[in-house]
Structure 1
Amino acid sequence: MVTSRTRATSGALVSRLALIVGVVFLVVGIAGFIPGLTSNYDQMTFAGHHSDALLLGVFQVSVLHNIVHLLFGIAGIAMARRVDTARLYLIGGGAIYLLLWLYGLIINESSGANFLPINNADDWLHFVLGLGMIGLGLLASRRADTARQ
């Protein structure tokens, strides 16, 4: 027989994972505004593919891109408070990142459609983030469901 303590622990895992992911996005959003962590900082634009700023010298960022990371991080921290919203954040956020990955593969990086901006490194990071977030959400949900039985 599974106790309510086991259910609470399993539910807490989903919340903890969403909180961790949210904090990571928040840190990444802040890092995008720190010269040194972001090379070519003086060439950062608000939006668009003309921004030459590179987070960690690899990932193309702009002010808008950094704001999106900050907002995504805040959403994760806020949604981590409840099991159902934490699960939604991980699985739904992962789906958004997979769509962003596809979008990055389809658009021309030097076109106006690349408004965030994103480069090839961003595309593949979005793919890994999408799969990872969905995997965490499903795995933690499965543990919570197993604990309920």
Structure 2
Amino acid sequence: MKTMKPGQYFALFTGIFFIVFGILGFIPALQHPINVIEARDGVEVQLGYLFGLFPVNPIENGIYIIVGILGLVSAIGLGGSRIYGRGLAFFFGLLAAFGLVPGFSMGFGLIPIFGNDVWLHAIVAAISFYYGFIDSPGLLEIASQPPQNSAATSGR
């Protein structure tokens, strides 16, 4: 049986976290208060505060669920989990930076990325940076695994 590496556990737990966070964001009873704001060009966007802390709306909840699904899929392999960590570091790092800029803090008028979302995104970006760029299995861990199906191991 193949054991998972820390980067794969990171992708798995991050995936579960964002799927749950995204689903909870769709439950009106968990959002206090809920407002409808005019975004761009007269488009109205729902804005609630999940647990009274994190500004969310249906678009952002959908993005969180997609990020979660990608985490679950990438946890299958070490390479995929490293790519996932790198992508999250870049994506959430940008969201955290944009959340600090008044003109971009509403995510181009559609996604709330201000307030406590900035800290959530910055923490996720920092942890993702570690698992995407810094953490890697040691050579002994890689060498102790049997080779994957390849032309070299199949006797061709």
**Which TM bucket (shorter chain)?**
0.7 to 0.9
What is the match of residue 100 of structure 2?
105
Tell me by how many angstroms 1:69 deviates: 0.3
What is the match of residue 15 of structure 1?
8
Kept after mapping to 1: 8 A contact 2:98/2:105: no
Three-state SS of the structure 2 residue aligned to 1:108 is coil
Tell me by how many angstroms 1:124 deviates: 1.9
Tell me by how many angstroms 1:94 deviates: 1.5
Q: Which structure's residues are more often helix, by fraction? A: 1
* One-letter amino acid matched to 1:136: Y
Q: Which structure's residues are more often strand, by fraction? A: 2
What is the match of residue 32 of structure 1?
25
Three-state SS of the structure 2 residue aligned to 1:33 is coil
Identity fraction in percent: 29
Please give the TM-score of this superposition, normalised by the length of structure 2: 0.74
2:91 is aligned with 1:96: yes
Counterparts of 1:1-149 in structure 2 under 5 Å? 9=3, 12-41=5-34, 43=35, 51-108=46-103, 113-141=108-136, 143-145=137-139, 147-148=141-142
Tell me by how many angstroms 1:38 deviates: 1.9
Q: CA RMSD in A?
A: 2.9
Tell me by how many angstroms 1:89 deviates: 0.5
Which residues of structure 2 form unaligned runs of 5+? Answer: 144-156
Structure with the bigger RCO (C-alpha within 8 Å, sep 6+) is: 1
